[in-house]
């Protein structure tokens, strides 16, 4: 097995040439790629010199500089390049590169949305040494938007409650999740979202871990919690159905990349460890 790639984030671009650097050119949630024998590759800055000249330095991935830039909706890709949904890079590139691609989407969107001050309309300026733009008139800073969200695995003995979101493009079951409201703690959000979406009460809410999730411009904060009472009642809007599942009778669940899958796999490991060996 090849070693995992290492990414070192950065803000100020190095003085060296950008030609060999990877360029993450974003159009919304799509990225520009080349395709060779069914494999998707990211272009180098040398293939798009004009876009690369104003691109944002992301950092260094295994010795290779990485840059991100937004491109307009009417941008015509050069021959040999095409736009694909960034999600489609999953399993097409290594996990570290996929993570940098997600970071690039967020940086490109921030750059596009904050080139002018939202208060006075003045063109903003990049702030050296940090990921920010600032208005030179009223000094308002603009940072990339990150929306905190919670995601929780609800357990009852050796079972877990999984729900199918009505908006999922493909039918599968996952953990309950939702965005934090102003004035809420993360734990309060867990209790509210679960009650709203599946109708049950919780106890013993414990922190699990976190994962940046650029496709929702969010930071997913994971929890585990135990069932405390109530009947499953789905909201009928976000959640289409929800059921209890045993670890040996699971439906289709999220891919291993996601924190939802990490929560599920961790619980499966805990249950298996409790079971007597044959």
Domain spans of the chain? Answer: 7-113, 116-144, 147-273
Q: Do domains 7-113 and 147-273 have the same CATH topology?
A: yes
Across the strands, what pairs with 152? 176, 223
What is the rounded CA–CA span in Å between residue 181 and residue 178?
9
- State how far Cα 8 lies from the chain centre: 18
Q: State residue 24's pLDDT score.
A: 95
Q: How confident is the model at residue 98 (pLDDT cuts 50, 70, 90)?
A: confident
Question: 200 phi and psi, to 5 degrees?
Answer: -105, 165
Residue 3 predicted with pLDDT over 60: no
Class in CATH terms, 7-113: alpha beta
What is the rounded CA–CA span in Å between residue 25 and residue 45?
10
Could you read off the pLDDT of 12-36 as tens digits, one per residue?
999 999 999 999 999 988 999 988 7
Q: What count of residues does the chain have?
A: 278
Q: State residue 1's pLDDT score.
A: 36
Could you read off the pLDDT of 148-159 as tens digits, one per residue?
999 999 999 999
CATH number of 147-273: 3.90.79.10
What is the rounded CA–CA span in Å between residue 21 and residue 11?
15
Let me know: does 61 contact 104? Beta carbons within 8 Å.
Answer: no
Q: State residue 173's pLDDT score.
A: 94
Residue 2 predicted with pLDDT over 50: no
Six-digit token pair at 66? 């990485």
The 3-state DSSP class for residue 138 equals coil
Alpha-carbon dihedral sign for residues 90, 96, 97, 102: positive
Q: State residue 265's pLDDT score.
A: 96
């Amino acid at each position: 097995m090849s070693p995992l790639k290492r990414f070192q984030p950065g803000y100020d671009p190095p003085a060296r040439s950008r030609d060999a650097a990877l360029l993450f050119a974003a159009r919304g949630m799509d990225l520009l790629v080349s395709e060779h024998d069914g494999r998707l590759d990211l272009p180098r800055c040398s293939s798009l010199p004009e876009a690369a000249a104003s691109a944002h330095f992301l950092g260094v991935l295994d010795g290779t500089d990485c840059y991100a830039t937004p491109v307009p909706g009417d941008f015509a890709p050069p021959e040999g390049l095409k736009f694909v949904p960034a999600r489609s890079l999953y399993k097409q590139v290594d996990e570290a590169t996929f993570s940098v691609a997600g970071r690039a989407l967020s940086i490109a969107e921030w750059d596009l949305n904050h080139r002018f001050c939202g208060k006075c309309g003045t063109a903003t300026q990049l702030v050296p040494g940090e990921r920010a733009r600032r208005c030179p008139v009223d000094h308002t800073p603009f940072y990339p938007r990150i929306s905190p969200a919670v995601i929780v695995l609800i357990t009852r003995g050796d079972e877990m409650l999984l729900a199918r979101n009505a908006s999922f493009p493909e039918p599968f079951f996952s953990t309950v999740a939702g965005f934090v409201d102003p004035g809420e703690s993360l734990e309060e959000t867990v209790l509210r979202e679960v009650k709203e979406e599946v109708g049950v009460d919780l106890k013993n809410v414990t922190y699990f871990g976190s994962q940046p999730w650029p496709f929702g411009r969010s930071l997913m904060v994971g929890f585990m919690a135990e069932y405390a009472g109530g009947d499953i009642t789905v909201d009928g809007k976000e959640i289409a159905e929800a059921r209890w599942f045993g670890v040996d009778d699971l439906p289709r669940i999220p891919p291993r990349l996601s924190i939802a899958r990490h929560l599920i796999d961790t619980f499966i490991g805990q249950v298996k460890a409790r079971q007597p060996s044959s």
